[in-house]
């Protein structure tokens, strides 16, 4: 199928996929979660680059003309390199990869009145400072305060975030972020896993603070992109199909855990990202 590839290190990209499907109900999608190697947030730049390239190459091999990196960590660490070098060397001009950092930083400044924005993300995303650099390009008046949350993706993937000790950890990170500046009026959840924690975070942070998730932002940006690029839009098949792949060998485990992120998935296939594996 020539669907839109949607890639994440695990389940988080399902929160983006849902918004994409709502905005583009006719389009086909191919979801790939690298659950066997999640989390990416504590991995090196080289590892995230390598894993992301492998995933993209595999999705292209399946027929996807366009891949969305529905993962902040992969977008922050690998996208530029992939767009500027990997695509040109290996895939010619026809294939495209888009991320989630750019669409978010293009508009995030509009949410804040104080120009003080907080960001919660994985250690790799925060250390890369990709958001800090990109936000400054679009909103030079905005100060961005970032807090790395190393335990959040593992607790979400393992579904232990309701435990008392997890909630204490979530509270610690939220409080540490808010301590960085008392005028923070907007918090960006800069990890596609984090919307799952929204009900818990909303109980911790003051009500006046706006919490921003990325699904709708990324969907709107992709729609606009496809409008500007009819040659890409025309390549994407439109049969209302979505197929799911994971690098996890235990398919039933994937199906069960994915229900915390997305509606029930009836068919999931395993891949080891071998390029001869169809």
- Using the CB atoms, write b or e for 81-118: b if 16+ within 10 Å: ebeeebbeeeeeeebbbbbbbbbbbbebbeebeeebbb
Active site residue ranges: 71, 191
Residues in 208-267 at the binding interface with ligand DGL, rule: CB under 6 A = none
155 binds ligand DGL (CB under 6 A): no
Q: Which of 12, 33, 109, 118 binds ligand DGL (CB under 6 A)?
A: 12
Beta bridge partner(s), residue 119: 146, 188
Report CA Rg, the chain. Answer: 18
3 binds ligand DGL (CB under 6 A): no
Element (H, E) at 22: helix 13-23
What minimum distance in Å lies between the beta carbon of 201 and ligand DGL? 15
Element (H, E) at 121: strand 116-121
Q: Which of 97, 184, 191, 218 binds ligand DGL (CB under 6 A)?
A: 191
Q: Which of 4, 6, 8, 128 binds ligand DGL (CB under 6 A)?
A: 8
- Count the residues of the shown chain that bind ligand DGL, applying the rule CB under 6 A: 17
Which stretch in 32-40, 55-63, 135-143, 176-184 sits in contact with ligand DGL by CB under 6 A?
Answer: 32-40
Task: Please report which residue ranges of 180-229 form alpha helices under DSSP H.
Answer: 198-204, 215-228
37 binds ligand DGL (CB under 6 A): no
What distance in Å separates the CA atoms of residue 31 and residue 17, rounded to the nearest whole number? 8
Q: Which of 3, 33, 41, 99 binds ligand DGL (CB under 6 A)?
A: 41
**Measured CA angle at 100 (ends 96, 103), to 5 deg:** 95
Q: Which of 66, 79, 153, 211 binds ligand DGL (CB under 6 A)?
A: 153
103 binds ligand DGL (CB under 6 A): no
Nearest alpha carbon to residue 83 among 61, 53, 62, 60: 53
What distance in Å separates the CA atoms of residue 4 and residue 65, rounded to the nearest whole number? 7
Nearest alpha carbon to residue 30 among 54, 56, 53: 56
112 binds ligand DGL (CB under 6 A): no
What minimum distance in Å lies between the beta carbon of 221 and ligand DGL? 16
Give 64 or 120: the residue with its C-beta nearer to ligand DGL: 120
134 binds ligand DGL (CB under 6 A): no
The residues that touch ligand DGL, with contacts defined as CB under 6 A, are 8-10, 12, 38-41, 71-73, 122, 125, 153, 191-193
């Amino acid at each position: 199928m020539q669907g839109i590839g949607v890639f994440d290190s695990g389940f988080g990209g399902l929160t983006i996929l849902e918004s994409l499907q709502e905005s583009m109900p006719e389009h086909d999608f191919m979801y790939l979660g690298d659950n066997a190697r999640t989390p990416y947030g504590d991995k090196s730049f080289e590892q995230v680059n390598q894993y992301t390239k492998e995933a993209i190459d595999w999705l292209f091999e399946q027929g996807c003309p366009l891949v969305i990196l529905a993962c902040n960590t992969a977008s922050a660490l690998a996208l530029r390199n992939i767009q500027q070098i990997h695509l040109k060397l290996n895939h010619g001009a026809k294939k495209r990869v888009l991320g989630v950092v750019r669409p978010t930083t293009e508009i995030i400044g509009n949410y804040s009145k104080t120009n003080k924005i907080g960001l919660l993300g994985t250690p790799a995303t925060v250390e890369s400072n990709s958001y800090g650099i990109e936000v400054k390009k679009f909103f030079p008046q905005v100060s961005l305060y970032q807090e790395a949350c190393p335990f959040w993706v593992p607790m979400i993937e393992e579904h232990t975030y309701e435990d008392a000790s997890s909630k204490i950890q979530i509270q610690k990170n939220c409080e540490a972020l808010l301590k960085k500046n008392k005028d923070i009026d907007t918090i960006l959840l800069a990890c596609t896993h984090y919307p799952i924690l929204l009900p818990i975070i909303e109980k911790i942070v003051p009500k006046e603070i706006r919490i921003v998730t990325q699904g709708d932002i990324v969907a709107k940006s992709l729609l606009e992109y496809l409008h500007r690029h009819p040659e890409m839009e025309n390549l994407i098949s439109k049969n209302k199909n979505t197929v799911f792949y994971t690098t996890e060998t235990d398919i039933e485990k994937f199906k069960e855990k994915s229900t915390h992120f997305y509606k029930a998935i009836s068919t999931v296939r395993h891949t080891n990202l071998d390029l001869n594996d169809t």
